[in-house]
Amino acid sequence: MWWEDKIMRTFRCRLKQSPGVLGSLLTSIGEEEGLIGEIKTINMGSTYVVRDVVVFADNQANMDRLIRVVQKNPDVDIIEVRDEVLEMHQGGKIAIRSRYKIDTLSELRKVYTPGVAEVCMKIKENNRLAWRYTSINHFVAIVTDGSAVLGLGDIGPLASMPVMEGKATLMETLVGLSGVPILLNTKDTDAIVETVTNIAPTFSAIQLEDISSPRCFDIEKRLQERLDIPVMHDDQHGTAVVVIAALINAARMADKDLKKCKIGQIGLGAAGLAVTKMLMYYLQNPVLGADIDEEAIKRLESAGGIPSTLEEICSSCGVVIATTGVPGLIKENMIRKDQIIFALSNPHPEIEPDLAKAAGAACAVDGKSVNNILGFPGIFRGAVDAKTPRITTEMLVAAAHAIANAAGEEELVPNPLDRSVHKKVAQAVALTALKQRLNREDLSGYFD
């Protein structure tokens, strides 16, 4: 949508009740390249009218100019300028609340002492009962050190909290799991592994989030080896799952055989390397990869990929995927006719989809369309429901197929807010766990 890259504010204005005042206000905003959204009348008086005017600007400097222009209008007073995004975040976006209303002594004694002692002793005798009698069965840790926050970089753990809350909100809304943000004030790999290992008994799964490459690879691997619950770095595998799903449908819509396509991956960080690995597993073909970091190229070679360059990939590959974080890296003259272009860096892609299509691409999308929100909620829901000790590559491929199959004829991916899609992903993951005999929960009736 056109407004996704713009700043939005709501101007609450007191306008003189006189013909032409509103028109003058809107004209002055337009002359400063501001765009008008909704206009809502709040209060109508005999001499003044109070209105909320939603205004869009390209950047903060442009928004500041718009505010000054309105302030200079003698017939208009700005009462306040509201940032509705900040308002939504006030007080945080998540909370832990009791499932029961405790307003009698009898209820108090059931949920706490003395009744709780019986439950504790049952769990002491059989640890697996903790999954039945506590919140562990729906708690998922969302762990970050804030070192690689999407589009923002290394902003530290505290500044990353709004993102972790957002992940938790989506997880609860879409699949009913309780995501618990865990902010780690360290970038030391050993310290992170030890900390997560020690808090793991509280959770049914661990979602690693926004941890920079290459540390993220070692952290995930070591935690998977040490813990008996699913551990997944979402930036790697959640992204890879959705990319595979979108590619399946892009190839179908472009009438291409994906297994016969030469594929290139530009940028071999956490997401890029994971996409490459999953593509090679899924297609059983090597993928070309390019990165300015020599260590990243070595990791690609170790995984079976072919070192390449930006220029070679753009000139020779039918499918080009980019996760570099460098806006405008791919130029229009680098696009070949009928290529599939996935420029996935957020918030600004390596090439705008419209430019790539105009240059001849058969299909071109950015990271707003191909986003891991379609992957991680259902993947964790299915893994937690199956009580699987780990998330396998087979489960991830099953999730990708579930997403691809849920899309309409003219869609690369389905609507991320469609809860039925996430249910299908969860069922695909759980069914694969069952086939691999990794489920520790009876799944009878789960797939009805």
pLDDT at 305 over 80: yes
pLDDT (mean) for 2-13: 81
How many CB atoms within 10 Å of residue 35? 16
Average pLDDT over the chain, rounded to whole? 94
pLDDT (mean) for 399-412: 95
- Residue 241, pLDDT score: 97
Say which residue, 6 or 336, is predicted with more confidence.
Answer: 336
- Residue 245, pLDDT score: 97
pLDDT at 4 over 70: no
- Residue 93, pLDDT score: 87
List, by residue number, the catalytic residues.
112, 167
The CATH class given to the 255-448 domain equals: alpha beta
Which has the minimum average pLDDT: 4-8, 245-249, 329-333? Answer: 4-8
Q: With contact defined as beta carbons under 8 Å apart, do 18 and 49 qualify? A: no
pLDDT (mean) for 380-391: 97
- Residue 1, pLDDT score: 54
Q: How far apart are the first and last CA of the chain?
A: 37
Q: Which CATH architecture has domain 7-89?
A: 2-Layer Sandwich (3.30)
- Residue 3, pLDDT score: 55
Q: Is the peptide bond before 19 cis (omega within 30 degrees of 0)?
A: no
pLDDT at 223 over 60: yes
Strand partners of residue 341: 320, 364
- Residue 445, pLDDT score: 84
How many CB atoms within 10 Å of residue 316? 13
Per-domain residue ranges of the chain:
7-89, 105-229, 255-448
Fold of 105-229: Rossmann fold (3.40.50)
CA distance 211 to 145: 6
pLDDT digits (tens, 9 = 90+) for 266-282: 999 999 999 999 999 99
pLDDT (mean) for 388-398: 97
pTM for this entry? 0.87
Over pLDDT 90: what percentage of the chain?
Answer: 84
- Please determine whether the domains at 7-89 and 105-229 fall in the same fold group of CATH: no
- Residue 99, pLDDT score: 87
How many CB atoms within 10 Å of residue 231? 27
Confidence grade of residue 349 (pLDDT, cut at 50, 70, 90): very high
Contacts 24+ apart (CB under 8 A), 432-435: 432/392, 432/394, 432/395, 432/398, 433/382, 433/383, 433/386, 433/388, 433/392, 433/395, 434/386, 435/394
> Mutual orientation of helices 270-283 and 234-253 as an angle, nearest 10°?
50
pLDDT digits (tens, 9 = 90+) for 36-51: 999 999 999 889 999 9
pLDDT at 374 over 60: yes
pLDDT (mean) for 15-43: 93
pLDDT at 393 over 70: yes
pLDDT digits (tens, 9 = 90+) for 225-278: 999 999 999 999 999 999 999 999 999 999 999 999 999 999 999 999 999 999
Q: How many CA atoms lie within 13 A of 413 on its CB side?
A: 28
